[in-house]
């Protein structure tokens, strides 16, 4: 844990534990995770069918109609998370509602529900959390939804070698008690699995990809799952990421909330590369761990359904016409007589819907500077996953 750059009698503020800062898009996995948990969406669900007025990063209103008449383009959910598209996040919020999101995030970060506003701003990461709280939330996702109790001092011995305090033992005992009464499962394993797979896609083709992999940046070649977060006027830059062994959250900003890190100093540019370099050095640049089992497979746990969706737009695929990609969701559940199950999207009509997705792609390129090549690369890799 690093709580700041200098520790002096006058500067003992531990930012990792004490600095609550706006989380921006690093918060979105909690929104998407809650929606998956509620069976409101699948990882490949096409979003953005309905025109919706919403806010961009700099606070300007934006309506889909602005970019070409009866615009009804769609995008699969996982790609929207990878590109960190705000309008989709707001739509997910409206689909699932504030209560399940607030419940989900407060369980994962072990924080009071009162810290989260029940408004669409929630979906854009307006809540303020400490790096420690974010690390806790992400590490429980990494740990298949099971509880994680972080501690820094393992045990204390006196001068004769007697153990006078043993935090490690206490934590083991608590986790073993939780395992017995079932409370160890903070979120269902299936939800954690789908969210982790989506966050791996984010790293592979989304905002952190370049900063992680490129030689002069992170130069990290292992597998990992994670999400960036940048806030208005570049006042905060986050990267929250994990591999099969280790979760690390990196936050950059000034104590004075109004100070900016500088124009265009986004998280992908400044917070991701040091994360990659640290992990590379941790594994000495080789032997990166995998999320796979001993047979080399990363199979979904009980309760996760693997389906196919149209890779162009996330609609139900038209057989023989639509290119396919994987979509994961939870099987129906009945609680107190009420059944929650995923409502499938309408069927893709082929050419016409694909054409609309093309228009949406042009919009994304213009708005988010995502190159054709990057989109194509993402798509080909998606097909590879499908045929595995
Ligand atoms: Zn299609």
* Between 179 and 370, the higher pLDDT residue: 179
156, 184, 212 — which closes off a domain?
Answer: 184
Which stretch of 3-12, 63-72, 285-294 has the lowest confidence by average pLDDT? 63-72
pLDDT tens column, 170-190: 999 999 999 999 999 999 999
Separation of 329 CA from ligand 1 center, angstroms?
19
How confident is the prediction for the chain on average, in pLDDT?
88
- 68 has a pLDDT exceeding 80: no
Q: What is the pLDDT of residue 384?
A: 28
pLDDT digits (tens, 9 = 90+) for 84-130: 888 788 889 989 999 999 999 999 999 999 999 998 889 989 999 99
Q: Are residues 131 and 41 in the same domain?
A: yes
Task: Fill in the DSSP letter of residue 173.
Answer: H
Indicate if 163 and 308 belong to the same structural domain.
no
Q: Residues 237, 224: one domain?
A: yes
Q: Give the structural domain span for 367.
A: 15-146+185-387
In a domain, 214, yes or no: yes
CA of 149 to the centre of ligand 1 (A): 45
Residue 100 in contact with residue 34, Cβ under 8 Å? yes
Asked if the structure places residue 41 within a domain, the reply is: yes
One domain, residues 139 and 32: yes
In the predicted structure, residue 76 carries a pLDDT above the cut 70:
yes
Indicate if the pLDDT at residue 51 is higher than 80. Answer: no
Q: Given pLDDT bands bounded at 50, 70 and 90, which one contains residue 366? A: low
Euclidean distance between the first and final Cα of the chain, in Å? 39
**Buried b or exposed e, range 130-163, using 16+ CB within 10 angstroms:** bbbbbbbbbbbbbbbbbbbeeeeeeeeeeeeeee
pLDDT at 107: 98
330 CA from centroid of ligand 1 (Å): 23
Cα–Cα distance measured from residue 254 to residue 236, given in angstroms and rounded to the nearest whole number: 8
* 3-state class (DSSP) for residue 136: helix
For 207-265, the pLDDT digits (tens) are: 899 999 999 999 999 999 999 999 888 899 999 999 999 999 999 999 998 899 998 89
Q: Give me ligand 1 centre to Cα 361, in Å.
A: 14
In the structure encoding, which two tokens stand for residue 203, read together?
């790293």
State how far the alpha carbon of 129 is from the alpha carbons of 13, 103, 106, 111, in Å: 15, 15, 11, 9
322 and 299 together in one domain: yes
Q: How far is the CA of 379 from the centre of ligand 1 (A)?
A: 13
Asked whether residue 7 carries a pLDDT value surpassing 60, the answer given is yes
CATH number of the domain bearing residue 332: 3.40.710.10
CA distance 225 to 26: 12
Q: Is 377's pLDDT higher than 80?
A: no
Q: Is 171 found in the same domain as 124?
A: no
Same domain, 175 and 98: no
Handedness of CA 336, 338, 344, 345 (dihedral sign): negative
Same domain as 165, residue 31: no
- 168 and 133 together in one domain: no
Residue that terminates a domain, selected from 184, 204, 237 = 184
- CA torsion angle for 227, 231, 234, 236 (degrees, to 10)? -70
Ligand 1 center to residue 45 CA distance, Å? 12
Among candidate residues 132, 165, 184, the one where a domain is terminated: 184
Q: Which pLDDT belongs to residue 247? A: 97
> Is position 160 within any domain?
yes
Distance 40 CA to ligand 1 centre (A): 21
At residue 378 the predicted structure's pLDDT band, cuts being 50, 70 and 90, is: very low
Question: What average pLDDT score do residues 6-15 get?
Answer: 87
Say how many Å lie between the CA of residue 354 and the centre of ligand 1: 6
The DSSP string of 60-129 is -EE-GGGGSSS----EEHHHHHHTT-HHHHHHHHHHH-HHHHHHHHHHHHT--GGGS-SSGGGGGT-SEE
Does a structural domain hold residue 133? yes
The structural domain count of the chain equals: 2
Q: Do 192 and 317 lie in a common domain? A: yes
Give the least confident one: 43-57, 72-86, 273-287, 368-382: 368-382
**Does residue 89 sit in the same domain as residue 37?**
yes
Least confident of 71-75, 113-117, 306-310, 323-327: 71-75
Asked if pLDDT for residue 287 goes beyond 70, the answer is yes
The answer to whether position 114 is within a domain reads yes
Q: Residue 373 C-alpha to ligand 1 middle, in angstroms? A: 20
Do residues 153 and 250 both lie within one domain? no
**What pLDDT was estimated at residue 124?**
87
**Residue 83 Cα to ligand 1 middle (Å):** 20
Instruction: Lowest mean pLDDT of 54-63, 178-187, 363-372, name the range.
Output: 54-63
Tell me the C-alpha distance between 289 and 52, whole Å: 42
**Distance in Å, CA 47 to ligand 1 centroid:** 14
Specify if 213 maps to a domain.
yes
- pLDDT score recorded for residue 66: 39
For the cut 50, the answer to whether the pLDDT of residue 152 exceeds it is yes
Rounded distance from Cα 160 to ligand 1 centre (Å): 72
**What is the four-CA torsion angle of 191, 379, 296, 39, rounded to 10 degrees?**
10
Q: Structure tokens of 237?
A: 């830059």
Q: Give the Å distance between the CA of 66 and the centre of ligand 1.
A: 24
Q: Is 8 within a domain?
A: no
Which residues have C-beta within 8 Å of that of residue 57, sequence separation ≥ 6? 86, 230, 232
CA dist 110 and 112 (Å) reads 7
pLDDT of 383 higher than 50: no
Cα of 271 from ligand 1 centre, angstroms: 36
Q: How far apart are CA 279 and CA 288, in angstroms?
A: 9
Task: With respect to residue 277, please indicate whether it lies within any of the assigned structural domains.
Answer: yes
Query: For the segment 352-364, what is each residue's pLDDT rounded down to a tens digit?
Result: 888 887 776 676 6
């Amino acid at each position: 844990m690093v709580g700041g750059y200098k520790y002096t009698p006058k500067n003992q503020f531990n930012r990792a534990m004490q600095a609550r800062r706006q989380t921006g898009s690093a918060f979105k996995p909690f929104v998407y995770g809650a929606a998956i948990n509620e069976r409101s969406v699948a990882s490949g669900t096409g979003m953005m069918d309905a025109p919706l007025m919403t806010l961009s990063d700099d606070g300007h209103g934006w309506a889909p109609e602005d970019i070409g008449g009866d615009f009804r383009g769609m995008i699969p959910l996982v790609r929207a998370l990878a590109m960190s598209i705000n309008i989709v996040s707001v739509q997910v919020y409206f689909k699932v509602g504030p209560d399940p999101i607030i419940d989900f995030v407060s369980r994962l970060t072990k924080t009071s529900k009162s810290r989260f506003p029940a408004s669409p701003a929630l979906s854009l990461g307006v809540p303020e959390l400490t790096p420690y709280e974010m690390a806790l939330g992400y590490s429980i996702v990494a740990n298949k939804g099971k509880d994680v109790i972080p501690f820094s001092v393992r045990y204390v011995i006196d001068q004769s070698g007697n153990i006078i305090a043993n935090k490690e033992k206490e934590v083991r005992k608590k986790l073993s008690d939780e395992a017995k009464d079932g409370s160890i499962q903070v979120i269902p394993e299936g939800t954690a699995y789908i969210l982790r797979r989506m966050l791996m896609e984010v790293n592979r083709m989304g905002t952190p990809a370049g900063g992680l992999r490129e030689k002069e940046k992170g130069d990290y070649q292992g597998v990992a799952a994670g999400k960036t977060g940048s806030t208005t006027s570049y006042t905060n830059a986050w990267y929250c990421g994990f591999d099969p062994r280790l979760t690390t959250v990196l936050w950059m900003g000034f104590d004075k909330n109004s100070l900016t890190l500088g124009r265009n100093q986004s998280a992908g540019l400044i917070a991701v590369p040091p994360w990659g370099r640290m992990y590379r050095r941790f594994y000495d640049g080789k032997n990166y761990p995998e999320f796979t089992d001993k047979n080399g497979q990363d199979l979904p746990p009980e309760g996760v359904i693997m389906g196919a969706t149209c890779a162009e737009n996330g609609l139900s695929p038209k057989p023989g016409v639509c290119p396919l990609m994987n979509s994961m969701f939870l099987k129906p559940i009945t609680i107190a007589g009420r059944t929650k199950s995923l409502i499938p999207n309408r069927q893709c009509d082929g050419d016409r819907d694909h054409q609309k997705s093309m228009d949406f792609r042009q919009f994304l390129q213009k708005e988010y500077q995502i190159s054709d090549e990057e989109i194509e690369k993402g798509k080909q890799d998606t097909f590879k996953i499908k045929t595995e």
